[in-house]
Amino acid sequence: MIDFAAAIGAGEKATQALLEGRARILARPSGPSASYSCAMFDWVEERRQRDEVVRSLFVGPELDWYDQQLRDEEKAEHRRRVAWVDSLTDAELQQQGRSAASAHGDLRA
Cα dihedral sign, 18-1-45-55:
positive
pLDDT for 79: 94
pLDDT for 52: 84
pLDDT for 34: 56
Residue 8 CA to residue 15 CA, distance in Å, equals: 10
Q: What share of the chain is helix, strand, coil (3-state, %, to 5)?
A: 70, 0, 30
- Does 93 reside within a domain? yes
pLDDT digits (tens, 9 = 90+) for 49-106: 888 888 777 766 678 899 999 999 999 999 999 898 888 888 887 887 766 555 555 5
- Does 99 reside within a domain? yes
- Does 38 reside within a domain? no
Give me the number of domains the chain comprises: 1
- Does 85 reside within a domain? yes
- Does 14 reside within a domain? no
pLDDT digits (tens, 9 = 90+) for 8-52: 888 899 889 889 888 888 887 665 445 556 777 788 888 988 888
- Does 100 reside within a domain? yes
- Does 15 reside within a domain? no
Residue 3 CA to residue 9 CA, distance in Å, equals: 10
pLDDT for 100: 58
- Does 19 reside within a domain? no
pLDDT for 109: 54
Range of the domain at 102: 63-109
Query: Please, are residues 40 and 61 in contact by the beta-carbon 8 Å criterion?
Result: no
Q: Residues 6 or more apart from 2 whose CB is under 8 A from it?
A: 15, 19
Residue 36 CA to residue 86 CA, distance in Å, equals: 61
pLDDT for 105: 53
* DSSP structure class, residue 64: -
pLDDT for 74: 95
